[in-house]
Structure 1
C-alpha cells in the first residue's frame, strides 16, 4: 500500500472529534519536570508500512453474530453437543407444530448434513444473537433459504417482535428438490428484538435459513457487518492476521466417524471455508460454540484488500498449544497439511488458470491477493516438536515459493523455558520472523519499554502477534501506549505488532480485554482502541533518535502477607511458618487448633481435615486465603503442600497487599505443565520466572520462599528452584519521535502515565519546523472505561503555536499526546 494513502496526518474520524484549546499548564509545584532532546541529524530505524496491524480470531462470537453480517443463528441446523454440551440442532429455534432435525441421505450436501423437516401447518422461529435480530426502519434485509417440497408448498416468512410485525410478510412458493429461494424485507420500524419466522402450508424440508442486511460493508454479498468493519478500517492497519489464535492449532487432529460413516478432521481447515456458503462445513470452535465458516478465507483475503492491509494467514503445525500438549506422529496427515499450506498460497497468489487460483476466480476475484507472509502454528508448548514440523513446512514453502516469509513462534509467554528454547531453535535455524505473544499487567508494560533494545539486530525479526495489558481501563491503554514507543524505537527488530483480541460480543465473552466491543445494535472502541488508532494513523517512516529524562524511582523492599490458593485443584496445606530475617517467628500454624488466622478472599471450600488446611473444590479457581501483616518484609515462608486431585498443583502467595496485588509461586500450573512466579498488580498478572514441571498427586512437597529486600529465592524440597529480583522501575513518562517522509513532519509522541502533569522542555536540535503544531490528545481518569453510552477516552484535536527550537509543553496527567510539527 502507498504511504501517501495510509499514513498522512490524522484520520478523518480524529479530525471530526471535538476541537479544544490546550489545557492551562499545571502549577510548577504540581508538575513533574522532564526534558526531551531530539537529534534530527541522526537516523533511527526505518518503520515499515506494515508495522501495526490487527489480529482477528473467532473468539467472543467475533465471526458469527459479529463481523459476519448473518442475522440468523444456527442457520443450517448444525449445532451439536460436539460444539457445546447445551446445543441441539434446534438451538436458537422455537417450533410450532411438527419439526424435526434430520440427517439422512436427503440432506442438502455432504458438508451441510442436518436439515429441518417441517410438517404441514408448522413453523419455526429464529431468535438471532444477543436480544434478537436487529432491524432498522427503512432498511432492506435479504432472506434466503434452501428448501425442498416434492408436492409443493408455500412458505410464509415474517419478521416480528413482541409488539408486532417489523416488515410485510413474504410468500415463497416451493416445489421440487432442493433449490435456493429468496425474498427481501423493508423494515417498517426499528427493533433490537426481532424474530424471523418461517411457516409452511404443506410438508417441506428447510436448510440454510438466512437473513442479511442489504447494507453490509461495501455492499458485498455474504458480507461483513458495516459498523464493525468500518471501525477496523479506521485503524488503517498494515496487516490482517487470521483466523486465530488458539482456534488454529487445537482440535483432535484426528478423523472421527458418525453413524453415517462421515469423517472429517476437527481442527481448522481453510479448504472447508471457501466456495458456496451452503457447501462449507461447520465446526466446533475452540472457544465453546459452533463456527459456520460463512466468514472464510476468501472473505478474510477480500477484507484485507478492502482495508489496504497485508493478509497474514496462520495454518496449524499439527502441534497443539493454548494449554494443550500434543503432537501428531501421523506423517501422512502432516504431509497433507503441508500441501494444504502450499495450496493456500496458490489460492491467494496463483493465476486464474491454476487449480486453486481458479477456485478464487470463480468466487469473484480473478486477480491475486498478493500474499507475502504465512504463519505456521500458534503458541505451541512443545518447542522441539513444533520446530521439527515447522522446518518441514518452511522447506516445502521456500522450495516452491521462495518469496514468501514463513513465520515461526515462541510459545505463549514473554519468557520461560518454552520461550527460551523456541528462540534458540529459531535463531539457530535462521528463521526470518518469530511470533511472540504475551498478556501482562500494566506495570509490566511500564517496566519493559526496553525489552527489544537488546535483541540481536541480525537475528530473526519479531512479529508481536498478540499483546494486551489485561484490561480495558484507561490505565491499561496508557501502559500499552508507553510500551508502543519502545516498539517503534526498535522498528528494525519489531516488524509487525497487533493488539489482541480484536472483537468481543458483550453477551458471549470468553476472553477479556478486547479492542472493540459490540452487541446487536451498536459497537464502540475501547480505550485501547483509541490508543491503537492514534498510533496506527500517525506512524511515520523513520524513527528520529531522541532521549528523555526519567522519573526518579525509589523502590522499597517487597512487603506483604502470605497466602495459599488452588486453581481447578484440591490440595492440602500444613506446617505453615513465617520467620523474620532476625529469626523471630511471625506466623506458625499446623492447623491443630483450626484455621482462625486465615482470611478467605477467594472462592473454593476450605476446611481443616486431619490437621491439614484443605481446599476440596477441584473445580474452583483462585481460592486464595491469606494470613499475616501486609507490612511484613525480609522473611522466610515455609509450607508443606499435597495435591489431592484436579488439573494443576499449588499456589503459594507472598508479598500480599490485597486481592489484586501480590506474588505467588504457581507450581504445576497451565494444566500441570509448568511452574512460574507470577506478580499480580492491580489485578493483572505478569510472569517473572518460569520452568517446565509438574506436581504429583498424593506426594507431600516442602516449599520455601526467602524474601530479602526485592530479591526472592525459591526452594522445592530443599533444592533451589529459582530466584528473581523485582527492581525494575515502572517508568510512566515515555516518548518516541518519528518523521513522515511524505509531509516532512516530525511526530513527537509522548505518554504521561501518571496522575501528575509533566511540564517538559523539548529541544528539537535545530530541526526546521513551523511554529504551529497539530495536537491530538487522549486523556482521562486512569479507571475510565469506554462503554456503549459513554466514551470518556476520546481524541481531542487542537493546535499549539509555541513551537521553537527549544520550547516547553505541559503534557496532561494520564495522557497520550501526539504533536505533528510541519516542516518549515
Structure 2
C-alpha cells in the first residue's frame, strides 16, 4: 500500500451462462443498440487471423492486506473483539487490555507467570460473582435466528467453579444461556449457542461463580466459508471467490516491511510494532502472537499464513506471499545492516517455502500437516519487499534473498518491486537495478486519479518485451464512484493488450469495514451484518470472469482532444506542517503583474478553501496547525493562463514541507508542487481532478526546517517548468489526452468465443462500427453491460452499478452497436 500523506490456477474459465428466457427478459432492460447504417462515432477493427499476447490464467487476482479492519472484525470470522485481552497503547493510544469489554464486579487484566503461554501475555482475573461483556465489532455481535455459534474459552479456576455464558442484546436473550464447569488448571472449554432471534447488537457475557482466570474468549459462527475451522466470514469470502481470482497476494502491503524486524523477547514485552513475520501466525491460535497493526489497531493473527494458503486453495488461486527484505517502506525508510538478522530472515523465507511445499516428513511440512493439511499448497511465486523508497539498499538485500531461494528452490519465481509510485527517481532506479539484475518479475504500485488511468492506457506498450515481467500488485483510481471504475476498466484493456508483459494484476485494497476506514477507495465494503461490492468490484468481476486465453489484435478510432492551456488561480497549502509564505507574485507572460502580496498588511486577497489556522505574522502568511491536512488558501482568477508564480516558503515545524498550487480551478481541480511530502522523504508535482490526485513528477528529497526557499513556477500553455532556489527542478507537459473510448478483444479457446470489451467513459453514447475482419460468427451475441451515472456509488442498500445481461441479434462480420454512455460492455460472439 502506497500511503501518500498528501492524498490518500484455474484451468476452466467461467462463462456467461444464462437460460434463453433470462437472456430475452434481460434484453428489455438495456438501451436498444442502433442498427441503421450511416456515419458512426467510432470504429473498431479486429484482425482474427493475427495472434496477440497469450493471457495466463493467473492474470487477475486479489490483494489482501489487514487495513480497514479487513481481518479481525472482517474476513476472519471471530465475533469477539480483543478476545485475549492483548490490546495495548502501543497499538492505539486509546486502547487498554479491556477495550471492547465492560466489567460488572471485579476484573482486571494480568500479566504474570500464571499466563496461558509466553506469547499470550495477558489474561483476565475475574472475581467471584463478577462478569465481563464483549461488544464485538461495529454495533455489536451479529447473530441470525436458527444459526449455531461456537463458544470457547481457556479458563483456570478451582474445581466447582461454574462459568455462565450468555448471548443477549438490549431487548433480551438471543440464545439459551450455557453453563461451563471449570476444573483446575488452564484448559479449553466449549459450548454451542443456537440463536433464537436475529440481532446486530449482540453482547457476549461470561460470569463466574468463583474467582477464575480467563483467556481467548471466542465466539465463531458455525457457518464459515467452506465450513473451515478457525475460518472466514462466509459472505465476504464468497464475494472474493466470485471474482475467480487467479492469485491471492498477502499479507500486505505496508504490514510487510514496517515495524521492527527483531524477534519477540522478554525485554520488548513480547511485542509490539513488530513487522509481519509468518512464523508468528501459525500453530494453535492461542499460541500465536498479537501485534500492533501499521494502520492503527491490534491484529490477532488468528487469520495467519496457514489460513491464507488454505483460502487461496479454496478459491482455486495461486498463493503469493510477500516477506520483508529488512528495508522498511511506507515512509519509514530504514535499512538494517545486521547480517545475522538478514540471514535469519532469509532462512525464515526458505522455511516458508518448505511450510508451503515440503513433504509432511520435513520440519515445516510437518507443522503444516499437523495443522490439518498434509498435502502441499503448491507455492510458485514469492514477493520480497514492498514499496521501498531506498532502491539500492533494497536491491542489495533482495539479491541475497533471491540467491538463497533459487539455490534451494530453482522453480520459485522471486518477485522484486519498483517502489511506491508509477514514476520518479525511485521508480527509475529500481527498474534499472531490476533490469540489470535480470529479475523475473517486478511489482508496481500506484494510486492515481481517474484522468491518469484514462491517459495511460498505453503505459505498457513500450515496455521491453525481453525484460522483467510486471506484477501490478496495487492499483486503483482514487474513489469508489462509477467514474473511478470506468477509468480502471479503460486502463485494464491496456493491461490485457500487454498481457505478454503484465502477467499479474490486482486492485487494492480488497476490504473495508465501513466503521474503521484508514484508506479509500476499497473494493468490497462491509459492516457486521452485510457486505456489498463497489462499482470497482463489478468491473473487476466482469473482467476476471471473462478474461479469454489470447488477445486478438484490434484497433479503434479515438476521441478528438479538446483540452486547452492550463488555466487557474494560485494557492498555498500545508499538510501536517506549519509553514510561512512571503513575497507572492504572479506575472503574466507579457510582464504585467497579476498578483503581488508581501503580507505587509492583511491577507484579504486570499480565500480559505481548506482547514488549518492562517494568519499574517511579521510580514508573512503563516499556517500554524501541525495536525491539519490540506490547508489550502487561494488567490487570483481561475481563468489565468501563461503566467509565472514566485513565492518564498519556510517550514516552521511538523512532519512535511509545503505545497504551492497553480492551475487552481476549484477545491478538487488543481496542480500543486508538493515539496517535502510523504513524511518529508520526497517531492512531487501532483494533479487533482475531481478530488483525486495523480503524480506527474516525483523526486527524492526533503525540506529543512527554518530555511527559506525561493519557489518559481512557469506555466506556458500545457507546459510547466519548476525552479527551486533559482535552479530548474523539473518540467512536464500535460498534453496526454484522457481517451474515454477504449477496447480490447480476446478469444476464449475452450468455446471459440470472441470477447469484445468496450469502455465508453463519457456522457454520450458511442455508436460504433465493428469490423470482425471476415470472421464467421453467429448472429447473436451474449452481452453484459455495466452502466450508470458517473457519480453513482454502490452502498449497502442501493447498488446502481449492477451487471445487466442481454442478447444482441445483429452480429455479422461487420455490424454496428451503440455503447451506452458511461458504460462497460462485453459482447461474447461465437465463432462458427
Cα pair 2:760 2:824 within 8 Å, conserved: yes
Aligned pair in 2 of structure 1 residues 493, 652: CA closer, same or farther (>3 Å)?
same
Most deviating of 314-323 and 488-497: 314-323
Matches within 5 A, 1:369-518: 369-518=377-526
Cα pair 2:90 2:272 within 8 Å, conserved: no
Cα pair 1:11 1:234 within 8 Å, conserved: no
Match of 1:128 among 124, 131, 136: 136
Aligned pair in 2 of structure 1 residues 16, 294: CA closer, same or farther (>3 Å)?
farther
- What CA deviation, in whole Å up to 9, does each residue of 1:204-256 have, x standing for no partner? 11000000000100111100000000000000000000001001100023457
Cα pair 2:62 2:507 within 8 Å, conserved: yes
Aligned pair in 2 of structure 1 residues 21, 613: CA closer, same or farther (>3 Å)?
closer
Shift of 1:151: 3.8
CA distance in 2, matches of 1:563, 1:704: 13
Task: Give the secondary-structure state (helix, strand or coil) at the position aligned to 2:340.
Answer: helix
- What CA deviation, in whole Å up to 9, does each residue of 1:81-103 have, x standing for no partner? 11111111100000000001011
CA distance in 1, matches of 2:450, 2:232: 33
Cα pair 1:31 1:758 within 8 Å, conserved: no
Cα pair 1:253 1:318 within 8 Å, conserved: yes
Shift of 1:4: 2.1
Cα pair 2:359 2:375 within 8 Å, conserved: yes
Cα pair 2:482 2:790 within 8 Å, conserved: yes
Task: Give the secondary-structure state (helix, strand or coil) at the position aligned to 1:167.
Answer: coil
The match for 2:127 is 119
Cα pair 1:643 1:650 within 8 Å, conserved: yes
- What CA deviation, in whole Å up to 9, does each residue of 1:738-778 have, x standing for no partner? 00000000000000000000000000001121010000000
CA distance in 2, matches of 1:24, 1:52: 32
The match for 1:193 is 201
CA distance in 2, matches of 1:18, 1:347: 49
Cα pair 1:323 1:671 within 8 Å, conserved: yes
The match for 2:741 is 733
Cα pair 1:17 1:796 within 8 Å, conserved: no
Cα pair 2:162 2:180 within 8 Å, conserved: yes
Cα pair 2:225 2:238 within 8 Å, conserved: yes
Aligned pair in 2 of structure 1 residues 775, 703: CA closer, same or farther (>3 Å)?
same
Aligned pair in 2 of structure 1 residues 632, 343: CA closer, same or farther (>3 Å)?
same
State TM-score, norm by structure 1: 0.98
Task: Give the secondary-structure state (helix, strand or coil) at the position aligned to 1:5.
Answer: coil
Shift of 1:671: 1.0
Aligned pair in 2 of structure 1 residues 645, 160: CA closer, same or farther (>3 Å)?
same
CA distance in 2, matches of 1:139, 1:598: 61
Aligned pair in 2 of structure 1 residues 15, 282: CA closer, same or farther (>3 Å)?
farther
Most deviating of 780-789 and 686-695: 686-695
State TM-score, norm by structure 2: 0.97
Aligned pair in 2 of structure 1 residues 790, 71: CA closer, same or farther (>3 Å)?
same
Aligned pair in 2 of structure 1 residues 588, 302: CA closer, same or farther (>3 Å)?
same
Task: Give the secondary-structure state (helix, strand or coil) at the position aligned to 1:29.
Answer: coil
Shift of 1:409: 0.2
Task: Give the secondary-structure state (helix, strand or coil) at the position aligned to 1:228.
Answer: helix
Shift of 1:257: 5.5
Task: Give the secondary-structure state (helix, strand or coil) at the position aligned to 1:799.
Answer: strand
Aligned pair in 2 of structure 1 residues 16, 382: CA closer, same or farther (>3 Å)?
farther
Cα pair 1:759 1:809 within 8 Å, conserved: yes
Shift of 1:10: 8.1
CA distance in 2, matches of 1:109, 1:18: 59
Cα pair 1:253 1:265 within 8 Å, conserved: no
CA distance in 2, matches of 1:10, 1:303: 28
Cα pair 2:272 2:292 within 8 Å, conserved: no
CA distance in 2, matches of 1:660, 1:10: 43
Aligned pair in 2 of structure 1 residues 134, 16: CA closer, same or farther (>3 Å)?
farther
Cα pair 2:40 2:769 within 8 Å, conserved: no
- What CA deviation, in whole Å up to 9, does each residue of 1:115-156 have, x standing for no partner? 001000000000000000000000000000000113430000
Match of 2:659 among 646, 651, 674: 651
Cα pair 1:127 1:194 within 8 Å, conserved: yes
Task: Give the secondary-structure state (helix, strand or coil) at the position aligned to 1:265.
Answer: coil
Task: Give the secondary-structure state (helix, strand or coil) at the position aligned to 1:255.
Answer: coil
> Size of the alignment, in residue pairs?
822
Aligned pair in 2 of structure 1 residues 26, 183: CA closer, same or farther (>3 Å)?
same
Cα pair 1:14 1:795 within 8 Å, conserved: no
Shift of 1:31: 10
Cα pair 1:22 1:800 within 8 Å, conserved: no
When the two chains are superposed, the root-mean-square deviation of aligned CA atoms in Å is 1.9
Cα pair 1:575 1:640 within 8 Å, conserved: yes
CA distance in 2, matches of 1:25, 1:741: 28
CA distance in 1, matches of 2:388, 2:19: 38
Aligned pair in 2 of structure 1 residues 12, 708: CA closer, same or farther (>3 Å)?
farther
Q: Which runs of 5+ in 2 are unaligned?
A: 1-10
CA distance in 2, matches of 1:15, 1:804: 20
Q: Which runs of 5+ in 1 are unaligned?
A: none
Aligned pair in 2 of structure 1 residues 96, 642: CA closer, same or farther (>3 Å)?
same
Cα pair 2:63 2:252 within 8 Å, conserved: yes
Aligned pair in 2 of structure 1 residues 618, 264: CA closer, same or farther (>3 Å)?
closer
Aligned pair in 2 of structure 1 residues 636, 527: CA closer, same or farther (>3 Å)?
same
CA distance in 2, matches of 1:259, 1:96: 34
The match for 1:349 is 357
Counterpart check, 1:592 vs 2:581: no
Cα pair 1:253 1:267 within 8 Å, conserved: yes
CA distance in 2, matches of 1:491, 1:236: 18
Cα pair 1:315 1:341 within 8 Å, conserved: yes
Aligned pair in 2 of structure 1 residues 767, 26: CA closer, same or farther (>3 Å)?
closer
Cα pair 1:20 1:796 within 8 Å, conserved: no
Shift of 1:19: 5.5
CA distance in 2, matches of 1:142, 1:378: 38
CA distance in 2, matches of 1:158, 1:517: 30
Aligned pair in 2 of structure 1 residues 28, 746: CA closer, same or farther (>3 Å)?
closer
Shift of 1:620: 1.0
Cα pair 1:154 1:202 within 8 Å, conserved: yes
- What CA deviation, in whole Å up to 9, does each residue of 1:572-604 have, x standing for no partner? 100100000011100000111210000000010
Shift of 1:13: 16
CA distance in 1, matches of 2:169, 2:217: 18
CA distance in 1, matches of 2:40, 2:824: 16
Shift of 1:26: 7.0
